Amino acid sequence: MKNIYQIGFGLIGKAMSQDLSQNFKVHVVDINPKAFRNLNNPNIIPCSFDVREKDKLAEWLYGADLVLLAVPGFLGYEILEMLIDLGVNVVDISFSPENLLELDQKAKNKGVTVIIDAGLAPGLPNLFLGHYYQENQISSFSYYVGGLPMNPKPPFKYKAPFSPIDVIEEYTREVSQKVRGQLIKREALTDIEQRNYKDIGNLEAFNTDGLRSLIFTMKDIPNLKEKTLRFSGHANLIIEMKKKGLFNKEAIVSTSQKLIEEWKLDVNEKEFTILEIFISSVDKNTRIFLYDEFDDNSKTTSMARCTGFTATGCVNLLNNEKNNFTFQGVVPLEILGQNENYFNFLIEYLNDRKIKFDIS
């Protein structure tokens, strides 16, 4: 049985390790030893230390050839660069603010493969865009995405199904978009629009910085946009907090601590994930829709399933010799999507885990 090394054992990390443990020995490290309470799986081997200590990390990783990286965004670039220096292949779901493509040459020099943003979004929209990019001259690409509680409670009507620190990053990070061929910058939480979904009702969408690598890899597409979905009223509440200075440098730590507690999902709290993608070309308009709910059988959040199983799919893609995986360097999912075999492998992997897409 092959060994997979995973860094991070949060909500999504737990789901990923459980999925991988069906076929691999999974060595997991998390800075918080309490994260491993109630762990009862002989194929998951826990360890606890600070992965920023490079010597300890190198010792732990001795002999590893693949690492699944699942740390908060503010740590992502630093740890990813360390892993490349150590010469290991990586699948990364950390929402780092930096441009990870800048590590491409270093990864190629080391002869390693780094699949970045291998989650729900960024991730799945990139994969589909790469797939359709092969067939059509794309004129416009946009997507809407959100992970939300089934029973929203005021004032925020929100719970964080992944790292709350990264949610706060979404609300404060400058947004990049393409409009009629021009790269533009906007503030997060702007351009609020209302969208209605069957069986869900009315949601609001606002700008966040989810395009990431697409700004650089899809330069010939004139219109690129991503928006986050929340229950109505959430965005204006965050905007008011920003106006009061609660996200300024001197206040961000205390604000984050309060929101992390406020947004913490209760044990087995029901939530859902929604993803809507639009891809337009001269002669074709395509809509891809995903709706997924908390899994009662495994007690796994929908966000952990949709994000985590995309990542574990990429791990299996790299480890399956039949796929003849040849890419080296930093590889976002829009590049993988341009290979029919890789695209089909990942979609089938998700389908096998009851994550299904409605394409029209």
pLDDT tens digits along 297-342: 999 999 999 999 999 999 999 998 778 888 999 999 999 999 999 9
C-alpha span between 11 and 304 (Å, rounded): 6
pLDDT tens figures, 211-266: 999 999 999 999 999 999 999 999 999 999 999 999 888 888 898 889 888 998 99
What is the residue extent of each domain of the chain?
A: 3-119+306-359, 124-300
Two domains, one topology: 3-119+306-359 and 124-300: no
Residue 209 has what pLDDT?
A: 95
C-alpha span between 119 and 166 (Å, rounded): 14
Q: What is the pTM of this model?
A: 0.96
124-300 domain in CATH 3.30.750.24? no
Kindly tell me the burial class for residue 1, based on how many C-beta atoms sit within 10 Å of its own C-beta (0-12, 13-18, 19 or more): exposed
CB of 80 closer than 8 Å to CB of 100: yes
Q: Would you state the structure tokens that stand for residue 298, as one six-digit string?
A: 């495994």
Q: Which CATH architecture describes the domain 3-119+306-359?
A: 3-Layer(aba) Sandwich (3.40)
Residue 233 one-letter amino acid: G
CB of 22 closer than 8 Å to CB of 85: no
Distance, first Cα to last Cα, the chain:
40
pLDDT tens figures, 31-50: 999 999 999 999 999 999 99
Residue 1 has what pLDDT?
A: 56
Residue 167 has what pLDDT?
A: 86
